[in-house]
Structure formats: structure tokens, C-alpha cells
Structure 1
Amino acid sequence: MGKFNQDALLLLDYVGGKENIAAVTHCATRMRFVLNDPSKAQEDKIEEISCVRGIFTNAGQFQVIIGNEVPTFYEEFMSVAGIQGGTKEEIKSAAKQNQNMLQRAVTMLAEIFTPLLPAIIVGGLILGFRNILEAVPMGFLDGKTITESSTFWNGVNGFLWLPGEAIFHFLPVGITWSIAKKMRGTEILGIVLGITLVSPQLLNAYSVNSTSAADIAANWSWDFGFFTMDKIGYQAQVIPAMLAGFMLVYLERFLRKHIPEAVSMIFVPFFALLPTILAAHLILGPIGWKIGSAISTVVNTGLTSSLNWLFAAVFGTFYAPLVITGLHHTTLAIDQQLVADFGSTNLWPMICLSNIAQGAAVLAVVYAHRGNKKEEQVSVPSVISAWLGVTEPAMFGINLKYMYPFVAAMIGSGIAGLFVTLFGVRALSIGVGGLPGILAIMPKYYGVFFIGMIIAVIVPFILTLFFRRAGIFNQLDRVGEAISPIDDSLSIPVTSENVASEVVSVYAPLVGELSPITDSKDPVFSQGTMGQGVVIEPMEGHVYAPMNGTISLVFPSKHAIGIVDDHGIEMLIHVGLDTVNLNGQYFETHVKQGDKVMIGDLLLDFDIDGIRESGFLTQTQVVITNSDSYQVDPIIKDGNVTNDTGILQVKTI
């Protein structure tokens, strides 16, 4: 009988038996199921299985976190279940059966805009900074703006328009590229299509409303003899770019099926791109513009009408649940359309305040549970993360665990959102969705928005403490009872022989930019489920041994390596996110399971450019997977590291 035989039998029973499993596979840390009927999964019982570290559902997949022994568990599970596994692509395809049309659309929208977020956020900060420079009269400058008083800052302001224009005016290029990339079309065709929507030969979209129909007909149209077509640009327009991008991809797919491969290199791009460009300017663009304008008008009207208080209260309160479902990604497109149509957005300020409220609720839990060192390893970084714009660690790590902080944050967010909406607060663009978000707000609303931020901090903080003491929405965290450390039930038993009797230094396994583990893009790591550690964005594609020990795991897809040292400290080095899907491509290992290694030994090479060009992130997680048994302290919190830089100290609790 194998090590996990009993646990595998229990999991098989609790997911609904063999007949409820449509497909199953695994990655470096978790089992990934597609269930015929997800409601049959007994989640409470699954979480009680000794080897299970957590569960969650994402993109139609029911995922059970096991840890770095998941390959062994998987083999035993498949043996007792008597079924065959599937490839990662088969799993993704099967997972769609658990998603309705709305979920599929939201997933698609998220996957299109997620690669664009870094640029859009940077653009928001740039616009906010430029607005301070050129639009805010300063008392100490006799009422003049900074640009009016300083040649240097006037030059800086003009220079910053270069990236600002590139990000927002040329947003359609990013959208059409992202659609082509996501749907496995030809990416360069997506880029070319986007450029044709924003070409300098076209009348800029921002100038259309101030240009007469007669001027457009005379100077901004193509005359084909039997019909004319307006030369209208679609700068900053979202829906026209999306419609054109989808047409290009589907037309390319159709042509590849029907044009012989021998001539496909010539005719597929030609007959996919030119008809799409024509349709984009003749049909899709005008229709998409009207749809986008209609949506933004409805939202803007709702937030400026006599019923704006109701719209704001509902949206502000229920934005956080939208994050859980993934529907919040739809607001990004609406925000961008509002900016394109009205020059600013009144939706994003409420989103920013929701993030602040989630962080404030966690801060109240930190205060109420002060002294709980184990929980603080998750809660304190979660506050910082939420106030810097990333709320998933706060929501999934703390607030949803106890529930009453989550409700308190929703109420505080609703009140703050109502307040700023009643005063008409608007943002120049989206920005960092936390405390720095004030930089994206139009300067004349700074004061009101700052008060809204205070509301978003104070109300959730007070309500969280009140709900806890009154027992409202609170079934787990009773006042006067001992508070169990977070994830304490997930501790890995360690024998006295395996406990470290000295401080062990862990060195960086890669050359790159180090950040706290809470910055991981994978919630399984960022929430501390897999243990404490760091993430490193690699600058070089080499992984070195960070401590002396034995190789305990070399994952078949070569993207993850486990090491255990002589004291029993277990480490997982996980290169990239979802890179298991590459099936070893771009990776070359230099060790095998059971090998002894010394600090600085080369373990793995990987092709950074190849991984990124395949659409995967290279952010690497370095975690102590049995950190429940040790005190893991960072030597440095962030910054550039090399493979001889000490990053962690590990000692017995």
C-alpha cells in the first residue's frame, strides 16, 4: 500500500467517485479535476484529508492543493481510481463544460486585458502626475501651475506625453495583439490590424465630435467611385478593436482549413488581413463605437443622475464579490470606454476604494489577533498588498476565511463609493487600485477622494471589530476563544531528528529581481498556502542550488525542483506560472532525484525568451514548503539578487 493510498481513496469518494470525474491531471503543487457535477464535491470533507492543503475552483477546474509530493499522490490516485489522466490542453477543454456562456465570456475578456494591465496602470499614473504638473495652481507659485513656472518641469510634462499617448491612444494595437495571441492567431497580423485603426492617416477619434460632417466628407474619406468610407481613427476605443481582432482570428482559422498548406503562407495573411481592415472601417468600427458609447453613456448617466446614490451604493458594495467571480474584469473595458468618451471615468474611483476597504478589514483582524505570529505571516502582507492594489491575498487569505471582515469591507466600500459619487469624483484613467490610486484622480477632487479613502479605512475597521464581538456574520472567530493560527491544520509533522538546531542561510537560486511571496501571481503561493518564501523575476535562465541538500523532486516537465537539506528543511523552486503546460520545452535539468548538491551547483537552465514568447510568465517561486515547522525570516525584502546573495534565514520555531 502506498503512502497516500488512504487519502487517495478518500479524495476519490469526496469528489463524487470515478463517474463524476470528466478529466484529471496535476501540476507541480495540485491536482486539477474537471468534474461532471461540481456540486457533488464535498469540499468540507476534502479539506479535512490529512495531505490536502487547500482547495479552490478556477476556470472550470476543481483544484486540490497537495504540495510538492503531488506526482506521487497523483500516481496512487490514478491507481485506486482506475482511470487515465489527460493532458493540460484536454483538461482546459473539458473544463469549459463547467462554465456557462457568461463565465466563458468573462474568462476571455480577462485573458485579453490582463497582459495589458501593466501598461494601462502606468499610463494612469503618468496622466495623474502630468495633471499635477499642468493643471493644479500652486499657492507657493502665486497661483501658477508647475509647468508655467518651471522650464524643466514643462519639458518633463511634454516628454511624459510620449508614453501616455502610446498607452492610451494606441490601446487598440494592444487589444488586437492580445486577441491574436490568446486565440493562437498570427500575432504580427493582430499588431498590423491595430495600427490600421489608429494610423496618423485617419482623423483622430478625439477630434471626430469637433469636426463637421461636411469636413469629414470632403477631407476625411476614401472615395471608391460607387461608395465612400470615412477615414475615422479609433484611438482608445475598446469594442471596435475587439470586434476587429476576433474577426481576424476566426477568418484566419477558416482560411487555414481551406487553403492548401503549400500556399498558405502567402494567401492566408493576405485574405485574412485585408478583408478585416475593410470590415473594421466600414462595419465593425462604426458599430463597435456606437455599442461602446451606449455602454459608457448608460454607466455615466447612472453615476450622474438623481439615482446615482443607488448605483454607487450597489456597485461599491458588491464590487468585491465580482472579484471572486472574475466578473470585475468587465469593468476595465467600461472604464477605458468612459475615458475615451468623456475624458475621465467615474467608475474606477469606487473600485480603488473597494481595494482599500478590503485591506482595512484585514488590518482590523491583525489588531484583534495581535500576537498570533503565524497568522500575521499572511495577514500583514495582505494589508500591504491590498493597499497597493492586489486584494486577492486579503480576500482569500483572511476576509473570506472569517467572513465577517469581508462583509464589513463590502459595507465600508459601499459607503465610501456613495460618498465620492455624490460629489462627482472622476479619475483620468485607472491607476493603482489602492492608496496610490489618488494620483489617477482629477486634482480638483483630491480632497473629496481623500475623505473617501478615510471612510474606506475607518468604517471597515470599526465594523470588523464590532461584528467579531457581536457575533454577526461570525461563526469561526468567537471573542474569548483561542484563535487557531491560520492554516495550522495544514502543518507538516516533523520529527525531532529532522528539526534544525541552527540557523540555515538560503541563497538566491537565480539572478533577478526579488519580491515578497505575496507578490506572486499565483494565489496558491501568494496566500502562503505552499509555505513562506520569496518570488524572483529572473534576468538569467539558470537555477542554482540555494542550500546544501538532496534533490527530492525533479518534476517531469522540468519546471520545478525540490530540495531537502540535512536538517529536514524542504524547499520548492517553481519556475514560471503554468509552465507545466510547456511539457519540458525550454527547460534543461542538470540533476536528478536523489542527487546531492552544494550551494551554487547548477540545477536547471531555461529559455526566458522562449517561455515568455509562448505566453507564460517567468516569475519564479522559492518557498520553504514545511515552513510551519520553522521560522522563516527574509534577509532582504526586495531588490536585485545574484546566486551568492543570502535571501532567507531558517531556524526552528
Structure 2
Amino acid sequence: MLAALAEIFTPLIPAIVVGGLILGFRNVIGDIKMLEEGTKTIVEVYPFWNGVYGFLWLIGEAFSTSFRLELLGQLQKKMGTTQILGIVLGITLVSPQLLNAYAVASTKAAEIPVWDFGFAQIPMIGYQAQVIPAMLAGFMLAYLEIGLRKIVPNAISMIVTPFFALVPTVLAAHVILGPIGWKIGDVIATVVYSGLTSAFSWLFAALFGFLYAPLVVTGLHHMTNAIDLQLMSQFNGTNLWPMIALSNIAQGSAVLAIIFLHKGNEKEEQVSIPATISCYLGVTEPAMFGINLKYLYPFVAAMIGSSLAAVISVSSGVMANSIGVGGLPGILSIKPQFYLIYTICILVAIVVPFVLTVVFRKYNILNKVDTAPIRTFGKHEFRKKAGNI
């Protein structure tokens, strides 16, 4: 499954990397209150940077929108079906006519627009930042097209197959598949909130720190914003956001280890170096889709490091004043009395994934695809396994 995902996502890596860097830069200038005694952001003080902040969103939004389109196009290519139908399907999931997914939580149920068919109403909700609904719809479209090709005569296939593959898929995406994705997100949000407010919060922190990165892969991590806001209103702070920032750092540190192990691979460094920077600024998708999921073992190493750092954070009572930028700048959202212990958490999130990635590679743990020379300090080492170097 991971190999198939990697093949689908690989052509999208340039867009993911550039989009991640742009969003990370916007986080720094627009969300970190570093000026006027920590009360204002760069954007709030300087009109020029306010203009830059707004202009960059044009590019960031384009990457965010086109990502779903290209994702479904690549999925159709992988399945041997029509790419343009996948792109059209993607447009129907993020169309401007739909209520943006980010606005759903703040919109009253009665105010959500619907398609009214008389006997039924279908909410007009977009699925921005959602991967699961898009992937489910993409596979449904592919299998419908493959099935129709077998039974529809070639003479009318050009007309019949696209129509009867696309229309039912779009309908299912908004009636069944999309709501399933949302429901999964709601369940995750409820579990996270309950876990963080229970007597076993340290144990939950270990699980959340370990599993947050896979949530990012699915797009369901955006559901945690609602939990953060609830925690902030109830406890005057959130202990969830610090763990999210630590997970960002851990994924970047695993990529940093890959840069060390594969030093000299200039083609890969075009992805890995920007991806590391993006992670440390709080955007992990370039690192995960571009490097860590490709090799798998750095992804797991980062999950373990994130889990350990999360346990230390929650057990020490670390709280953030607000949510905003993640990664290394995330420390600026931490309450000042927790700066020292959170710095230790950051060091854990840097060192543990780096070391584990090197160890996993050296002993071929969770590694089936990385056959590059193993780089150690000052030399290269080759290991043989199953007849391959």
C-alpha cells in the first residue's frame, strides 16, 4: 500500500515541497508574535510583509487546490484509467461553489448550503485538505471505468463510459464517501479530547505522538484544531499543540538523517533539504511524501521520536497559549514557564529520530527499498542483503 502511495505521490513532490515552504514562511511572518514585546506579528507591523503574506496565499491556495486534482489524476494513471476524469472529480471536491472544509466547524448546521432534490438534501461541503475521501472516490471512479469498459461496446464507449463512471462517483463522494471521512475525523477528535483530559493522558500522549504523522497522511489531522480550541477555552491553554509541533520536528530530523546517510545524492537533496526546512517550519507533507514514506524506516523512526517527546511534554504539563505555527518556531506559542522542559522535548524530537533512522538503515530494520551505501562518520559502508548491495 505504501509503495502504491509513494508511486502516486512522487510526481507531486515539487508542488508539495514548494507549497510547504510557502506555507511555512507565511506561518513565520503571519502567526508568530515576535515584535513589540511579543504582541504583534511581522505582518501586523509592516505593510510590505502584509502584502507579501496575502500575495503568497494566492500561490499556496493554488498548490492546495491543484494537489487534489493531480492526486486523483495520478491515481487514475496508476490504475490505467482516464486521468482527466480524475482531475474533474478532484474539481468537484474542492469547487468554490462548495462550503470550504475549513469553514465547516464555524458554520451553523442550518447555514450549510445544500442541494435540494425534494426527497433528500445533500450538504454542499468541500473536502479541502482531505485525502481519504479523495482516494476513496478515485478508486471508485477507476473501478467503475474498468468495469464499464468490459461491457460497453467500443462504438459508444467514448460517450457512455465517462458519463456512467464519473456521475455516480461524484454523487457517492458527496453522499457516502465524503461523510465517512468526516465521521472518521469526528471520532478521532472525540478520542483525542477524551484521552488528553483523562488520568492516562501520558499514555495517550505516547499514542498520539506516534500516530499523528499517519493522520497527516490521511488529511484528518486538521480535525485536531477544534480540540485545541476546546482545550484552550476549558483549560486556558492546550497540551495538544506542543505535541503536534514536536511531530513536525521529528519528521524533519528523520529526513536530516537521510541527507546524512545519502550525502552526495544531489537529485534526492533537491527534495530532502527543502523538505527538512519545511518540516522545521511546521509543514511536514513534503518530507513525508517525498522521503520518509518512500523509505518507510525514517517515517517510523520519526514516529517513535515524536512519541517519546510527546510523553515528556504531557507528563511535564507543557501548555501552549495558542495554536499557530508548528515546528521549531512552535516554542514561541509555549507558555514561558515551560520553555526549558519544552527545549528538552525539542532536543529529543531531533536526536532520537536521527539516531534511530541511522540505526534502522545500518541494520536494515523496516528497510526493503533503500540499497544506497551506508554512510558512517568519515567513511561509507556497504552491507549485503539477499544478494543486493
Which bracket does the TM-score occupy, shorter chain normalised? 0.5 to 0.7
| Residue among 211, 220, 232 paired with 1:337 | 220
| Residue among 115, 121, 126 paired with 1:222 | 115
Q: Work out whether 1:197 is the aligned partner of 2:60.
A: no
Q: Secondary structure at the match of 2:81?
A: coil
Aligned length: 329
Q: 1:192 to 1:116 in 2, by over 3 A?
A: same
Q: Work out whether 1:444 is the aligned partner of 2:318.
A: no
| Residue among 276, 280, 291 paired with 2:173 | 280
Give 5+ residue unaligned stretches, structure 1. 1-103, 320-327, 364-376, 398-405, 431-436, 465-472, 474-485, 488-521, 534-625, 627-653
Q: Is the 8 A contact 1:237 1:340 kept in 2?
A: no
Q: Is the 8 A contact 2:122 2:175 kept in 1?
A: yes
Shift of 1:244: 1.3
Shift of 1:267: 1.5
Identity of aligned residues (%): 46
Distance, in Å, in 1 between the alignment partners of 2:147 and 2:72 is 18
Q: Is the 8 A contact 2:79 2:142 kept in 1?
A: yes
| Residue among 163, 183, 191 paired with 1:290 | 183
Shift of 1:227: 3.1
Distance, in Å, in 1 between the alignment partners of 2:72 and 2:61 is 17
Distance, in Å, in 2 between the alignment partners of 1:141 and 1:245 is 49
| Residue among 288, 311, 318 paired with 1:423 | 318
Alignment partner, residue 70 of structure 1? none
- Higher mean displacement: 252-261 or 345-354: 345-354
Q: 1:392 to 1:210 in 2, by over 3 A?
A: closer
Once the two structures are superposed, what CA deviation does each residue of 1:549-574 show, in whole Å capped at 9, x if it has no partner?
xxxxxxxxxxxxxxxxxxxxxxxxxx
Q: Is the 8 A contact 2:262 2:372 kept in 1?
A: no
Distance, in Å, in 2 between the alignment partners of 1:184 and 1:427 is 42
Once the two structures are superposed, what CA deviation does each residue of 1:5-30 show, in whole Å capped at 9, x if it has no partner?
xxxxxxxxxxxxxxxxxxxxxxxxxx
Q: Work out whether 1:236 is the aligned partner of 2:126.
A: no
Distance, in Å, in 2 between the alignment partners of 1:348 and 1:142 is 22
Q: Is the 8 A contact 1:170 1:236 kept in 2?
A: no
Q: Work out whether 1:269 is the aligned partner of 2:158.
A: no
Shift of 1:277: 1.1
Distance, in Å, in 2 between the alignment partners of 1:393 and 1:449 is 30
Distance, in Å, in 2 between the alignment partners of 1:211 and 1:444 is 27
Shift of 1:161: 1.0
Q: Is the 8 A contact 2:15 2:67 kept in 1?
A: no
Alignment partner, residue 54 of structure 2? 158
Q: Is the 8 A contact 1:350 1:417 kept in 2?
A: yes
Distance, in Å, in 1 between the alignment partners of 2:297 and 2:47 is 49
Alignment partner, residue 47 of structure 1? none
Shift of 1:264: 1.4
Shift of 1:262: 2.3
- Higher mean displacement: 142-151 or 385-394: 385-394
Q: Secondary structure at the match of 2:122?
A: strand
Q: Is the 8 A contact 2:137 2:173 kept in 1?
A: yes
Q: Work out whether 1:179 is the aligned partner of 2:59.
A: no
* Equivalent residue letter for 1:337: L
Q: Is the 8 A contact 1:313 1:415 kept in 2?
A: yes
Shift of 1:416: 2.2
Q: Compare the two structures and name the one with the higher strand fraction.
A: 1
Alignment partner, residue 525 of structure 1? 372
Once the two structures are superposed, what CA deviation does each residue of 1:257-304 show, in whole Å capped at 9, x if it has no partner?
111122212211111111111222222222222123323543465456
Q: Is the 8 A contact 1:132 1:443 kept in 2?
A: no
| Residue among 229, 232, 253 paired with 2:146 | 253
Once the two structures are superposed, what CA deviation does each residue of 1:127-152 show, in whole Å capped at 9, x if it has no partner?
33223222333345884321122121
Q: 1:127 to 1:192 in 2, by over 3 A?
A: same
Report the TM-score, using the length of structure 1 for normalisation.
Answer: 0.42
Distance, in Å, in 1 between the alignment partners of 2:80 and 2:244 is 31
Q: 1:311 to 1:350 in 2, by over 3 A?
A: farther
Q: Work out whether 1:136 is the aligned partner of 2:32.
A: yes
Q: Secondary structure at the match of 1:222?
A: strand
Once the two structures are superposed, what CA deviation does each residue of 1:492-516 show, in whole Å capped at 9, x if it has no partner?
xxxxxxxxxxxxxxxxxxxxxxxxx
Once the two structures are superposed, what CA deviation does each residue of 1:174-221 show, in whole Å capped at 9, x if it has no partner?
4423322222221111111011111111122222233333333xxx22
Q: 1:443 to 1:198 in 2, by over 3 A?
A: farther
Aligned positions of 1:348-367 closer than 5 A: 348-355=244-251
Distance, in Å, in 2 between the alignment partners of 1:315 and 1:213 is 29
Q: Secondary structure at the match of 2:143?
A: helix
- Higher mean displacement: 227-236 or 187-196: 227-236
Q: Secondary structure at the match of 2:106?
A: coil
Q: Compare the two structures and name the one with the higher helix fraction.
A: 2
Q: 1:457 to 1:205 in 2, by over 3 A?
A: closer
Aligned positions of 1:444-463 closer than 5 A: 444-445=333-334, 450-456=343-349
Distance, in Å, in 2 between the alignment partners of 1:460 and 1:205 is 33
Distance, in Å, in 1 between the alignment partners of 2:162 and 2:122 is 23
Q: Secondary structure at the match of 2:185?
A: helix
| Cα root mean square deviation, aligned | 4.7
* Equivalent residue letter for 1:524: T
Q: Is the 8 A contact 2:247 2:303 kept in 1?
A: no
Once the two structures are superposed, what CA deviation does each residue of 1:325-378 show, in whole Å capped at 9, x if it has no partner?
xxx9844334x2122562788565444444577689x89xxxxxxxxxxxxx95
Give 5+ residue unaligned stretches, structure 2. 229-239, 277-286, 364-368, 381-388
Report the TM-score, using the length of structure 2 for normalisation.
Answer: 0.66
Q: Secondary structure at the match of 1:237?
A: coil
Shift of 1:314: 5.2
Distance, in Å, in 2 between the alignment partners of 1:190 and 1:393 is 23
Q: Which has the larger radius of gyration?
A: 1
Shift of 1:251: 0.6
Q: Is the 8 A contact 1:172 1:241 kept in 2?
A: yes
Once the two structures are superposed, what CA deviation does each residue of 1:217-258 show, in whole Å capped at 9, x if it has no partner?
xxx222334433222222222222222111111111110111
* Equivalent residue letter for 1:265: M
Q: Is the 8 A contact 1:171 1:237 kept in 2?
A: no
Q: Work out whether 1:210 is the aligned partner of 2:106.
A: yes
Distance, in Å, in 1 between the alignment partners of 2:59 and 2:319 is 28
Q: 1:288 to 1:138 in 2, by over 3 A?
A: closer
Q: Is the 8 A contact 1:379 1:394 kept in 2?
A: no
Q: Work out whether 1:311 is the aligned partner of 2:194.
A: no
